[in-house]
Amino acid sequence: MSNRLYRLKNIYLKNGIKGIINHVLFKLKINYRLKNDLDRLKEYFSKTLAEKLEYRIQSGHFKDIKLIFNNNTGIIANRLENLYETEVINEIVKLQTKFNKKYFVEFGVAEGFYVNGLLGKNIFNFSIGFDIDKKLLNLCKKNLISNNVAQNKFKLINQKIDENSFNYFRENNIDLEECFFLIDIEGDELRVLNEKNLYQLRNSLLIIEIHNFLKKEEEFLKLKNNLLNIFEVKKISIGSRHFDEKSFHKTFLRSEIEKNIYCSELRPSGMYWLVCKPKN
């Protein structure tokens, strides 16, 4: 049996015909997937418990921030329980405490988890968020309003991120040295962070989510080497997860398996981020 047929067989055995369809959609680069039983169970736990938590973050740096308007309901409870990308949040707060950048810039802002937390808790004074999806930007704005963030503290831009996106900062007289970038653009980081743009960003702070399951490993190695030429680079990844179990959790989460599903973000691969700060 060829390697390709062996992989397809394993996909079918794990997720049936939906798994095969999702595999084909992924190969065709179509941004859609059918939900399997695990997805539905995870979404049920997340939505049900988010209601119990009143859509308010329970602990951590973003404590008491509300996330009422959401597109990805499967992970909303992770965010509310301070289980979502906690290592990234901690790194942002630590670096901002030291460097005190003026602007938090997010490429791939979505519903605004980070901008709501960082502006709502006054960790940054101003944020610029880019996203290709206008619907998500509208949700982000609604969340910011619900957290009483003044509209003169943020700018949301409906735009696909490409190699020319950094022109926005020059055109609006924004010094890139005053910017802290969080970049989550589903593999396009390879194209956007070319050598020319990295040189422009040499005095900025960057945290880049690496989607190494979407492209060839050698492409990411090239990006990492280019980053190392300009920045001090540190790799961070997701650690183990635990939550403060309350009585209402026990009503829904009856086994250790269900608790683990609840804690999981159901990512397709182990994720990591590259934290980049200027060389002194």
pLDDT digits (tens, 9 = 90+) for 140-191: 999 999 999 999 999 999 998 888 999 999 999 999 999 999 998 876 788 8
Dig out the tokens for 225 from the structure: 């080497």
Q: Are 209 and 184 in contact (CB under 8 A)?
A: yes
Q: Count CB neighbours of 238 within 10 A.
A: 18
Rounded CA separation 49/77 (Å): 6
User: To the nearest whole number, what is the mean pLDDT of the chain?
Assistant: 88
> pLDDT digits over 85-112, tens only?
999 999 999 999 999 999 999 999 999 9
Q: Count CB neighbours of 50 within 10 A.
A: 22
**For residue 213, what pLDDT is reported?**
65
**For residue 73, what pLDDT is reported?**
86
**Beta strand ranges found along the chain (DSSP E):** 103-107, 126-131, 154-158, 179-183, 205-210, 231-237, 272-278
Beta partners for residue 202, in sequence order: none
Beta partners for residue 272, in sequence order: 210, 237
State whether residue 208 is helix, strand or coil: strand
Q: Which residue has the tokens 């009503």?
A: 251
**For residue 1, what pLDDT is reported?**
59
pTM: 0.87
Q: Count CB neighbours of 128 within 10 A.
A: 21
